[in-house]
Chains A and B, each alone.
Chain A
Amino acid sequence: MAVLKVNPNRMELLNLRRRLAIAKRGHKLLKDKLDELMKQFLNKVRENQRLRKEIEEKLAKAYQIFAVARSESSAEIIEEALFYPHMTTSVKISEKRLMGIRVPEFEVEQEGTFDCYGLSTTPAVLDKALFLLNEVVPILIKLSEAEKAVELIAVEIEKTRRRVNALEHVLIPQLDETIVYINMKLDEAERENRTRLMKIKEMVSGGSV
């Protein structure tokens, strides 16, 4: 590991020691954050999986019933039935902070009913198909919220992990080594000085003899 390019003096040593202490504290904090993020991430992923499974089951069923409704009468009749819907779905988007990450929060609001067609000339099974599809919509939006959160947490985890790694494998060893290096340099200078002093003393005392 490369040693930082600094002047090997006591001042720098004190500086580096301070930096090392901060880096170590930062590293610990970031590591804790990473652990917590991982926990949140796994929770969200689990929730995600549950929602996805639920949706897949519900959608498969809804599509099947819808395919039945679709085959029960001509395409024109089904399309006419759904030509002028009077149900509106709106999604309110707000933000929530999760471990300092801004994740979106979707709130679904549905107004009106989905039966916008005559009940006499359309197949009865259409009601069930639409009921099931209608049930899926809020869960789908919930799923998109969970998936976005997972994505954002994943990005944050990656960022934090990079920082932790940089601290752990680059900065802290570098500081450590530099401190050792400066220490050695200083010791060396100390020894050099001592030797020099001894030599001078010897010369001085020898010369006087």
Chain B
Amino acid sequence: MLNALKDPLKYGYAVGRIKVRETKMLGTNRLERLVNAGDFGDQKRILAETDYGSFFQEAVTPEDVEKSLGDYLTVLYEFLEEIYPEKQILFYFISRYDFHNLKVLLKAKYGEKTGEQIWSELGTLEPESIKKGIKEGELEGIVEPYRSALEEAMSRFEESKDSQQIDIILDKALYELLYMIAKKQKNKFFIDYVRSSIDIVNLKVFMRAKNLNKEQEFVEDALLERGFVSKEKLILLYPESLDIFVKELKETPYAMMVRDSVEGQKFDLDIFDRKEDDFLVRYIKIAKYIPVGLEPLISYIMAKENEVKTLRIILIGKLSGLSAQTIKERVRVQYV
């Protein structure tokens, strides 16, 4: 069946629901008001006008804000599950919390700590069974792709005794999974999104590693596959000077992002996190003009995640006493 016929049937309902919700997103103006608000109380009053209002009624401390935002995301993912029952898409969004939990469990095991306080509630894995499995080294009960990732991370840690290896292996497995999910959907927009985000992550790893004076082997290991800019190319550029790095990336969409980050012989990554998200939000903005299909659906969820992230920066930044100017520098471009 042609996509033109298939898509409205498959995504019509879901896209209809999200189009209504899209109009309720915070938008740049409201975020600006939040940045300029005097204190957290004022911010809460502004949020009361939005669908975040009910989540923040009782919030006082940064921990409360974290909890409220977590609850908000839970409701968002439940909404996605309700309007679009294909588990794979939901899985795309929440698998990263599973990987986070796996990291926590592994580090807790090797560091002989509990780690319960930093467990994420948003994942799909059941804490008790998997905790026992990891503790005793019995991984049979754990589903793929978590199991193989865990096996690799465990053997790598036992060999090197380096906790960073756990993160590297699990991050790689996460992005491979995200790519596979997108590939299964056979949607170019989705696949390209994942590949772009892999590129950006690779650039971030590259620049951070360079700043931290990491060995070449580190980047060879930590860089992700599947990006548009090949891993091999980045590895070859690693020992080169920053000028050559910038020059080599001139033809890519990341040219500006990279060029602006160079400062002398180092990278200035103070606001790189914002640039990274801005790039991806600008990419998904195309989906606003696609009337029906997977694109507007996933873009909406991504846009909401971006909104939650921006909100976290504004609220926690304010509670931590950051100046409006510092916060403003980090407010992401919004989807709407």
Flag if B207 contacts A121 (CB, 8 Å): no
Flag if B273 contacts A124 (CB, 8 Å): yes
A147 CB within 8 Å of chain B: no
Given contacts A83-B113, A124-B208, A127-B208, are A67 and B320 in contact (CB under 8 A)? yes
| B320 / chain A contacts, CB cutoff of 8 Å | 67, 70-71
Flag if A115 contacts B104 (CB, 8 Å): no
Alpha-carbon gap, A80 to B96, bound state (A): 13
Select one of B111, B212, B269 contacting A84, CB under 8 A: B111
Which chain A residue lies CB-closest to B316? A71
Flag if B167 contacts A74 (CB, 8 Å): no
A94 CB within 8 Å of chain B: no
Alpha-carbon gap, A125 to B162, bound state (A): 22
B110 CB within 8 Å of chain A: yes
Alpha-carbon gap, A149 to B205, bound state (A): 44
B57 CB within 8 Å of chain A: no
| B166 / chain A contacts, CB cutoff of 8 Å | 84
A128 CB within 8 Å of chain B: yes
Give the distance to chain A from B285, nearest Cβ to Cβ, in Å. 22
Chain B residues touching A, majority SS? helix
CB neighbors of A among B104-124 (8 A): 104, 107-108, 110-111, 113, 115, 117-120
Flag if A128 contacts B270 (CB, 8 Å): yes
Select one of A77, A115, A119 contacting B204, CB under 8 A: A119
Flag if B204 contacts A83 (CB, 8 Å): no
Flag if B119 contacts A127 (CB, 8 Å): no
Give the distance to chain B from A72, nearest Cβ to Cβ, in Å. 5
| A121 / chain B contacts, CB cutoff of 8 Å | 96, 100, 167, 171, 174
Flag if A75 contacts B164 (CB, 8 Å): no
Select one of A70, A84, A115, A123 contacting B316, CB under 8 A: A70
Give the distance to chain A from B323, nearest Cβ to Cβ, in Å. 9
Flag if B312 contacts A120 (CB, 8 Å): no
Which chain A residue lies CB-closest to B108? A83
| B330 / chain A contacts, CB cutoff of 8 Å | 68, 71-72
| B322 / chain A contacts, CB cutoff of 8 Å | 64, 67-68, 71
| A119 / chain B contacts, CB cutoff of 8 Å | 204-205, 208-209, 222
| A83 / chain B contacts, CB cutoff of 8 Å | 103-104, 107-108, 111, 113, 115, 118, 163
Flag if A84 contacts B110 (CB, 8 Å): yes
Which bracket fits the contact residues of B?
A: 35 or more
| A95 / chain B contacts, CB cutoff of 8 Å | none
Alpha-carbon gap, A115 to B209, bound state (A): 10
Flag if A86 contacts B162 (CB, 8 Å): yes
Which chain A residue lies CB-closest to B276? A124
- Beta-carbon contacts of B206-217 to A below 8 Å, as 1s and 0s? 011101100000
Give the distance to chain B from A51, nearest Cβ to Cβ, in Å. 25
Alpha-carbon gap, A120 to B170, bound state (A): 10
| B201 / chain A contacts, CB cutoff of 8 Å | 120
CB neighbors of B among A113-157 (8 A): 113, 115-121, 123-125, 127-128
**Of A80, A85, A115, A119, most B-chain CB atoms within 10 Å:** A119
| A73 / chain B contacts, CB cutoff of 8 Å | 309, 312
B8 CB within 8 Å of chain A: no
- Beta-carbon contacts of A46-82 to B below 8 Å, as 1s and 0s? 0000000000000000001101101111111101110
Flag if B316 contacts A128 (CB, 8 Å): no
| B175 / chain A contacts, CB cutoff of 8 Å | 120
Which chain A residue lies CB-closest to B111? A84
Flag if B269 contacts A117 (CB, 8 Å): no
Give the distance to chain B from A70, nearest Cβ to Cβ, in Å. 7
| B100 / chain A contacts, CB cutoff of 8 Å | 76-77, 80, 121
Which chain A residue lies CB-closest to B321? A67
Give the distance to chain A from B234, nearest Cβ to Cβ, in Å. 13
Alpha-carbon gap, A53 to B272, bound state (A): 30
Flag if A124 contacts B272 (CB, 8 Å): yes
Alpha-carbon gap, A67 to B321, bound state (A): 9
Which chain A residue lies CB-closest to B219? A119
Alpha-carbon gap, A120 to B96, bound state (A): 12
| B272 / chain A contacts, CB cutoff of 8 Å | 124-125
Alpha-carbon gap, A128 to B320, bound state (A): 18
Give the distance to chain B from A88, nearest Cβ to Cβ, in Å. 13
CB neighbors of B among A12-49 (8 A): none
5 examples of A-B residue contacts, CB within 8 angstroms: A70-B320, A83-B111, A84-B110, A121-B100, A123-B273
Which B residues have a C-beta under 8 Å from some C-beta of A? 62-63, 66, 69-70, 96, 100, 103-104, 107-108, 110-111, 113, 115, 117-120, 162-164, 166-168, 170-171, 174-175, 201, 204-205, 207-209, 211-212, 222, 224, 269-273, 276, 309, 312-313, 315-317, 320-322, 326, 330
* Given A83-B163, A118-B164, 9 additional A-B pairs, CB 8 A: A64-B326, A70-B62, A74-B120, A83-B111, A84-B110, A85-B163, A120-B204, A125-B269, A128-B269
